[in-house]
A and B are shown apart, each in its own frame.
Chain A
Amino acid sequence: MLADVGHYTLIAAAILAFYSMCACILGARMRRADIVESGERAVVGLIFLVVLASGILLHALITNNFQFEYVSHYTSTTLPLPYRAAAFWGGQAGSMLFWLLVLSIYTAFAVVQNQARHRKLMPYVTASLAGTCLFFLIMLIFAADPFKKIFPVPVEGQSLNPLLQNYWMVSHPPSLYLGYVGMSVPFAFAMAALITGKLDSDWIKAIRKWTLFAWLFLTVGILQGSYWAYIELGWGGYWAWDPVENASLMPWLASTAFLHSVMIQEKKGMLKVWNMVLVIVAFSLSIFGTFLTRSGVVSSVHSFAQSPIGNYFLVFMGIQVALSVFFLLKRKKELAPEARLESFVSRESSFLFNNVFFLVICIAVLCGTTFPILSEAVTGSKVTVSAPFFNKVVAPFAIGLVLLTGICPLIAWRKASLINLQKNFLVPGIIGLTGVGILLAMGVYHWLTLIFFFSGVFVLVTVYNEYSKGTKARMAMVHENAPEALYHLVQRNRRRYGGYIIHAGIAILFIGIATSSFYRLEKDVTVPLNGTFAIGSYTLKYKDMQFFQDPHKEVWRATLDIFKGENHVGTLTPERHIYKNSEQPTTEVALRPFWNEDLYLILIGPDESGAGTFKVYVNPFIGLIWRGGIIMALGGLIVLFPDLKTKFAVSTASDRSAEEFAR
């Protein structure tokens, strides 16, 4: 019964989406504000219906309504409540509905927020968003129906994959979706600007925060995913260049490039076509990413079934890319730059390089990810590439990017002088080289580690310099004390100083990647009870093995003491669970972080004699990856924080001169 309501709700929503799209376009063409308005109202109705449909599915999941095929596949009566709710995005049909739900909430915000603004753009923005909703609705109705009924109604469901039953399943997918789906709003504005020919910086201003918001969630989502992989999966790593991981990285790269190049357009009126292209690419890649993960065209460890939704995605992507290219070509002349590049050594060109590097990495990742499909289409045999390919191709450009992160903010606009360069680069360069010297003295010789470390330190010093320069300027000119000056400095220019924090986070993250990748220790051992083994500077003693069970699972738990020299520094209890429902074993990693490295232990299994087999890793500085990530997120929040300045503060002459000076 409820399932039928859900199904018809989707059909009604599809009709509204179609109506809204047509009304907005026709209304704008005929210059009839009333028709446009009715289209926008239809969007509100559409959102209401999508929320209703999602509510029905969520309710069914939580109450174990096994009439729904989807519910019976992904939940069971013994599944804890948070996972029953998380099963919403656990399977194909549900995750598509979740995409749509997020999209309609974004659409609602975009329409309401801009009710009085951007009137010329809005009809097309609404139409584009409604069109995207329509696509997902059609797919849900015809190919991936979450409201499909099952008969006879099963007594018990198949439950959620035990590998997904952990905290990260609740927070990682929604973050990623908020990021992915967020790209549809900038895309809608870009299309509206192209269609109406209102190509000034209006549309750019309207979407700056949107893009950043989506970017922030994408960043957090990707990092959560890597952390999840690290602490739950028990292979000692956090990133495997799996197609699904790549699918989330590609839109991230494109949107990061856009967030940078958009500054050039605002300041200089250059790169207009380029920015359009980046927005279109970012959106296309997020659709493409959903397609990759959901259609099963690429064999990934994440995705398993061939599914009919692939064709729907192909058609939608075809239409979307064709329309984008058509309008882009049509407006090409009007998008001519207002200024020309004056010098090779200038901030403009360093931004351009940053963009080229981001895009080049994106293309490399795309090549590697789609290579199996392409090679099969061309030669008939499937050829795959794995992690070494990506590492090899991406590493040089990643080094370039990290270096640019340090260099870019230091180069003057238009044309930098030699003195300017010397003055700004000398100190960070010397400190960076000193750091490398220390590493060499410690016996770290891997050149990639050294280069990333140098670049990272360089960035951190330049960020510190920028902060101290700005703070000192304010202290001298506005006569504030240091914390006040620092606070006002950031608060009055959050985009710039928040951006620096993000850069510092990236630098720290890369130092973590470079050290942990090349200096990891790993070992497989089988030891008898009370036996010991050593790795790095640690000795582990295998003390105990317990077995117990609860209604859901059987648990093996080993207990090991960690010694560093003579000192007992901790205890590790790695576990192995076997779920009764599915006979699915899962490893519960035991992790002991030290200030400089993680000791990471997996229980492979006990044997009859009571001996235990373990896999153990020492991952140096791996924690920096996520600490850097948290710093990035904080920086993003600083930039996103609502603008209070424009409303309340009146800037004084001395405020302004302090800012000028800091520049």
Chain B
Amino acid sequence: MKGRTALFASIFVVVVALGFLVYSGLSDNMVYYYHVDEFLPKAANLQGEVIKVNGKVQEGSIRKDHLNCSFVIHGSVQNTVNVDYHGVVPDTFKDGSDVVVEGSYDPGARKFHATTLLAKCPTKYEPQDQAKQNQVKKS
């Protein structure tokens, strides 16, 4: 019986460790995800916080200079956010693509500084589970 008790005790420890790691992992790494329309009303309160914002790239708004890139994303209404990004843009990033930017918002400059840029395929291609899209992180 001693073996069993020791075993259960250690399994208990493993499970507690899992709980702890998940909890602390979540509190360190969780990032709120907003659509542009949800984001704008709260933008002032989110200064400095790392968040993700989802929207569509406005036609003709992409300005690229080597690895620096700026563009505008918009929501369903004419809600727009200016985005700055430094790094490699994914292949699927272009006018009209659905993007998720991660970074923080500077209400003073009215700019979103993105550290990560994810672009989804244009809707022409419906769900493709094998469509490995680019994920590009800032170096």
> What are the interface flags for B79-106 relative to A under an 8 Å C-beta threshold, 1 for contact and 0 otherwise?
0000000011011101000101010000
Against A, the Cβ 8 Å flags (1 = close, 0 = not) of B44-72 are: 00000000101000000000001100000
Contact for B135 among A242, A346, A364, CB less than 8 A: A242
Checking B2, B7, B128 against A90 with a beta-carbon cut-off of 8 angstroms, the contacting residue is B128
- Binary B-proximity of A385-408 (CB < 8 A = 1, otherwise 0): 110110011001100000000000
Chain A residues near B3: list those with CB within 8 A: 341-344, 346, 349, 415
What chain B residues lie within 8 Å of A370 (beta carbons)? none
Residues of A within 8 A of B31 (CB): 383-386
**CA–CA, A396 and B125, complex, Å:** 39
Pairwise interchain contact A393-B25, C-beta atoms closer than 8 A: yes
**Once bound together, how far apart are the Cα atoms of A158 and B128, in whole Å?**
14
Taking the closest CB of chain B, its distance from the CB of A70, in whole angstroms, is 10
Q: How many A-B residue pairs have C-beta atoms within 8 angstroms? Tell me.
A: 195
By DSSP majority rule, is chain A's interface helix, strand, loop, or mixed?
mixed
Tell me whether B118 and A301 are in contact (CB under 8 A): yes
Tier of interface size on chain B? 35 or more
Please measure, in the bound complex, the distance between the C-alpha atom of A368 and the C-alpha atom of B21, giving whole angstroms: 12
A163 to B129, CA, bound (A): 12
Shortest distance between the CB of B121 and any CB in chain A (Å):
6
Chain B residues whose CB sits within 8 angstroms of the CB of A393 once the complex forms: 18, 21-22, 25
**A392: contacting residue among B25, B33, B135, B139, CB under 8 A:** B25
Q: Measured between alpha carbons, how far is A367 from B22 in the docked complex, in Å?
A: 8
Task: Count chain A CB atoms within 10 A of each CB in B2, B4, B18, B98 and give the residue with the most.
Answer: B18
Whether B120 is near chain A, meaning CB under 8 Å from some CB there, is: yes
A417 within 8 A of B: no
Name which residue of chain B comes closest to A615, CB basis.
Answer: B88
Distance between B80 CB and nearest chain A CB, rounded to angstroms = 21
Known: A92-B127, A392-B21. Contact between A301 and B135, CB under 8 A? yes
Q: Known contacts A305-B126, A341-B3, A396-B21: does B26 contact A164 (CB below 8 Å)?
A: no
1/0 per residue B1-36: CB within 8 Å of A? Answer: 011101100110011011001101110111111100
Contacts A/B (CB < 8 Å), 20 sampled = A163-B131, A172-B130, A301-B118, A303-B128, A304-B120, A341-B3, A344-B7, A346-B3, A356-B15, A382-B33, A385-B25, A388-B25, A392-B24, A393-B22, A524-B139, A582-B122, A585-B94, A587-B91, A587-B134, A615-B88
B interface vs A, CB < 8 Å?
Answer: 2-4, 6-7, 10-11, 14-15, 17-18, 21-22, 24-26, 28-34, 38, 52, 54, 66-67, 87-88, 90-92, 94, 98, 100, 102, 118, 120-137, 139
